[in-house]
Amino acid sequence: MPKINVLPKNVAELIAAGEVVERPASVIKELIENSIDAGADTITVEIQNGGISYMRITDNGCGISYEDVPLAFLRHATSKIKEDNDLNYISTLGFRGEALAAVSSVSRVEMLTCSENEEIGTHYMIEGGLETLYEEAGCPRGTTIIIRDLFYNTPARMKFLKKDVSEANACAAVVDRIALSHPEISIKLIRDGKQTLNTSGDGQIKTAVYSVLGREFANSLIDCKGEYGGVAVSGLICKPVSCKPTRNNQFTFLNGRLVRSGTIIAAVEQAYKNSAMIGKFPVFVLYVNVPFDTVDVNVHPAKTEVRFSDEKRIFESVYASVKNALSQGDTRPEIKMTQPTFNRFERMTTEQFKQTVIKTEAPKEVVTPIKPKPVVEVVKPTVDTPKTFTFHSTKNQSFADTYSFVGENGQKTVPIYAPSVTEKAVLIEKEIETIIDEDKPVITVIGQAFNTYIIAQMGDSIFMIDKHAAHERILFNKLKAQHKVEVQALLTPITANLQKDEYNAITSNLDLLLNAGFEIEDFGSSSVVVRAIPTTLIGEDIVSLLSEMAESLKNTKSVQIEREENLFHTVACKAAIKAGSHTTTAEMKDLAEKVLLSKDIMYCPHGRPVAYEIKKRELEKQFGRIQ
Ligand code: ADP
Ligand code: MG
């Protein structure tokens, strides 16, 4: 580590003054960060009584040379920056040069340190800012710093400390966060004599997450990786069904430093928006790396808040990376049944019989991933399947919508008849070419329950599909993928008189609306003319849809992606087949195929699951065919 310099006054003033020592946890944070800056790859933290009476941090870093030790405890003494310009290129965790000075003024500090180019180390003690010992001493390379009796000379501040256990928990949380941010460093925490954390330091994020957050959690996470405009994002995110009611498990590391960034949290949550239930928050450990000169870390004394020079770029990169990971790594929730409470060989009483109701558990606890490509036995048709078949529809052809379906291998395209929203009995014939894909799993539609849930079988599982949620998601994805929406020009254009704010929202988003299939013209004085609409919306009340769309456009702030998604969401919801409505077998088969063969269709845009899976094995267990 370079020589320690006392900062010139102007640099010192550039650094906003801030209180570093608030509680034991803030001391632990500063001291571990010093060890990391010193290049240590093994750090041991020991605390007693929540850190109030004793904290010890031992590292194998570069150490401090004999003559520099007293300097390290001076205010604004740092080896990490020299002049004002260096503040723009901060790569170390510390740079303010105030932690040791602040800590030593409110506690009794003992340091043992030996730098890399010294034979013999230094033993130093400082109490309430006054040096009490400064001598040479034999010790291993690296630094051990012991803080005793924090706030012993400032009783007023002592009073603000919480119970030992709360302070200890806060210290542990700091150590956890640092362990997650540096999987390449082995970090150990000993709490009142008991080791509570030990990370391997093997450099693997997953191993660190495993040690810190536990095995169950580590297994429900999805890998996330992406780069956009110089912003690199990597890490782990949770499956949408595993979102939690609090934001406690959100970890963002910006250039290796734990930060709380509203922009990053918003970007992640936006990416989950149409997959997670409202009121639930994603769990994530994300490492975001940006060029050092595009971020200001000096906005908050504890350096936990940051400011970016280009918020939009950060938002978009994080959003895209998370969105991408979600679309690739998620799996469908599975329904597991509880075991029958009676012995199946005993005779049941009528009472017991009545109680044998199949209970389903909440999906979040029982998510068992299905393999991305289900291994199923392909049942070959016994008769020659015609390459083309004729489909008789009772619907007006103009309502029909032809979708492109890209198979799992990403190549085959099967145009399929898709359901329409209104029932107009006009008999037409439509020829659909079906490419028979030998690898495609066979999907059999068993029927539908309550005119709402399609029951389909694929491989060794039965799926229950919410037809509205499924169709809504399909339409939403289609709009988002900017696939050409089938548009129908209206013979009689619709003129709509809107409220002033609705009118403003619509007319300032005409391009966006055009992407969604609406050709709208500004007619002045709060009215617009609708000339064309998506084919799927024929028969719907377009004027009230306009108000709904205006609502979704005006409720959102300026982020383009968000406005667009809200709009598509409104359109998809309106155009999707309704629960409880009649659906033909062909329509059900089409929906089931789209849902079960596409990994993108997991949740409706409101975050409700589209389908649940019941494994054959689960049924067999339930019926006592297998144990
Ligand atoms: P800062 O970290 O902001 O520079 P500190 O008061 O935390 O300020 O530390 C002052 C200086 O003491 C550091 O710049 C560094 O040179 C030295 N130092 C502190 N802790 C260690 C350590 N564990 N190993 C090596 N050097 C250290
Ligand atoms: Mg420091």
Region of poorest pLDDT, from 166-175, 199-208, 265-274, 286-295: 286-295
- pLDDT score recorded for residue 167: 94
Model confidence pLDDT, tens digit, residues 120-152: 999 999 998 899 999 999 999 999 999 999 999
Mutate to test the pocket of ligand 1, among 29, 78, 115 (most ligand atoms within 8 A of CB): 78
Rg of the chain over all Cα atoms, to the nearest angstrom: 31
Beta bridge mates, 190: 46, 195
Spatial neighbors of 209 by CB under 8 A, at least 6 apart, are: 180, 217, 218, 221, 236, 285
Model confidence pLDDT, tens digit, residues 445-462: 999 999 999 999 999 999
Over residues 384-398, the mean pLDDT reads: 29
Spatial neighbors of 357 by CB under 8 A, at least 6 apart, are: none
Ligand 1 pocket, 29 CB below 6 A? no
The encoded tokens of residue 45 equal 């933290």
- Indicate which residue's Cα is closest to atom 14 of ligand 1: 78
- Indicate which residue's Cα is closest to atom 21 of ligand 1: 34
* Of the candidates 172, 274, 282, the residue with the CA atom closest to the CA atom of residue 224: 282
CATH number, domain 9-198, options 3.30.565.10, 3.90.340.10, 3.30.1360.10, 3.40.50.300: 3.30.565.10
The encoded tokens of residue 487 equal 């548009």
- Separation of CA 428 and ligand 1 centre (Å): 80
Ligand 1 pocket, 20 CB below 6 A? no
Region of poorest pLDDT, from 107-116, 139-148, 474-483: 474-483
Which numeric CATH code is attached to 220-329? 3.30.230.10
- pLDDT score recorded for residue 364: 40
Using an 8 Å Cβ cutoff, are 272 and 326 in contact? Answer: yes
* pLDDT tops 90 at residue 215: no
- pLDDT score recorded for residue 43: 98
Q: Which atom belonging to ligand 1 lies closest to the Cα atom of 101?
A: 6
Q: Which atom belonging to ligand 1 lies closest to the Cα atom of 57?
A: 23
How many residues would you count in the chain?
Answer: 627
- pLDDT score recorded for residue 137: 94
* Of the candidates 452, 402, 411, 483, the residue with the CA atom closest to the CA atom of residue 604: 452
- pLDDT score recorded for residue 198: 95
* Of the candidates 242, 231, 389, the residue with the CA atom closest to the CA atom of residue 309: 231
Using an 8 Å Cβ cutoff, are 302 and 18 in contact? Answer: yes
Using an 8 Å Cβ cutoff, are 193 and 171 in contact? Answer: no
* Of the candidates 30, 175, 188, 164, the residue with the CA atom closest to the CA atom of residue 96: 30
Over residues 348-376, the mean pLDDT reads: 40
What is the C-alpha to C-alpha distance for residues 616 and 613, in angstroms, rounded to an integer? 10
Of residues 565 and 373, more confidently modeled:
565
Of residues 423 and 534, more confidently modeled:
534
- Separation of CA 187 and ligand 1 centre (Å): 19
* pLDDT tops 70 at residue 297: no
Using an 8 Å Cβ cutoff, are 542 and 550 in contact? Answer: no
- CA angle at 209 for the pair 206 and 212, rounded to the nearest 5°: 150
Of residues 275 and 164, more confidently modeled:
164
- Indicate which residue's Cα is closest to atom 16 of ligand 1: 79
Ligand 1 pocket, 99 CB below 6 A? yes
Over residues 40-45, the mean pLDDT reads: 97
Ligand 1 pocket, 79 CB below 6 A? yes
485 burial via Cβ count (<10 Å: 0-12, 13-18, 19+): buried
* Of the candidates 498, 520, 505, the residue with the CA atom closest to the CA atom of residue 552: 505
> Do β-strands 611-615 and 461-466 pair in parallel, antiparallel, or remain unpaired?
antiparallel
Separation in Å, CA 396 to CA 342, 359, 416, 421, 423:
54, 42, 16, 11, 8
Most confidently modeled of 59-73, 389-403, 495-509?
A: 59-73
The encoded tokens of residue 171 equal 């210290």
pTM of the shown model: 0.53
What is the three-class DSSP state of 413? Answer: strand
Ligand 1 pocket, 100 CB below 6 A? yes
What is the C-alpha to C-alpha distance for residues 246 and 262, in angstroms, rounded to an integer? 15
- Side-chain-side CA neighbours of residue 390 (13 Å): 4
The encoded tokens of residue 1 equal 């580590």
The encoded tokens of residue 317 equal 């990169």
Render 28-85 in DSSP notation, one character per residue. Answer: HHHHHHHHHHTT-SEEEEEEEGGGTSEEEEEE-S----GGGHHHHTSTTEESS--SGG
Neighbours of 179 (CB within 10 A): 25
* Of the candidates 220, 200, 315, the residue with the CA atom closest to the CA atom of residue 263: 315
Which helix H or strand E contains 470, and what residues bound it?
helix 467-480
Using an 8 Å Cβ cutoff, are 89 and 232 in contact? Answer: no
Listed in sequence order, the DSSP H helices in 227-371 are 262-272, 311-329, 350-355
Model confidence pLDDT, tens digit, residues 243-282: 888 887 888 988 877 788 889 999 999 999 878 877 889 9
- CA angle at 38 for the pair 101 and 15, rounded to the nearest 5°: 45
Using an 8 Å Cβ cutoff, are 65 and 115 in contact? Answer: yes
Spatial neighbors of 248 by CB under 8 A, at least 6 apart, are: none
Over residues 342-363, the mean pLDDT reads: 41
What is the C-alpha to C-alpha distance for residues 171 and 143, in angstroms, rounded to an integer? 20
* pLDDT tops 80 at residue 384: no
* pLDDT tops 50 at residue 434: no
- Separation of CA 248 and ligand 2 centre (Å): 26
Domain ranges in the chain are 9-198, 220-329, 391-436, 437-627
Q: How confident is the model at residue 16 (pLDDT cuts 50, 70, 90)?
A: very low
Q: What percent of the chain has pLDDT over 70?
A: 74
Which helix H or strand E contains 27, and what residues bound it?
helix 24-37
How far is Cα of residue 311 from the mean position of the Cα atoms in its chain? Answer: 18
Question: Is 437-627 a CATH 3.30.1540.20 domain?
Answer: yes
What is the three-class DSSP state of 95? Answer: coil
Of the bound ligands, which one is closest to the alpha carbon of residue 39? Answer: 1
- pLDDT score recorded for residue 443: 92
Beta bridge mates, 529: 495, 521
Q: How confident is the model at residue 200 (pLDDT cuts 50, 70, 90)?
A: very high
- CA angle at 149 for the pair 147 and 155, rounded to the nearest 5°: 135
- Indicate which residue's Cα is closest to atom 1 of ligand 1: 97
The single-letter code of the amino acid at 9 is K
Q: How confident is the model at residue 81 (pLDDT cuts 50, 70, 90)?
A: low
What is the three-class DSSP state of 341? Answer: coil
What is the C-alpha to C-alpha distance for residues 286 and 230, in angstroms, rounded to an integer? 16
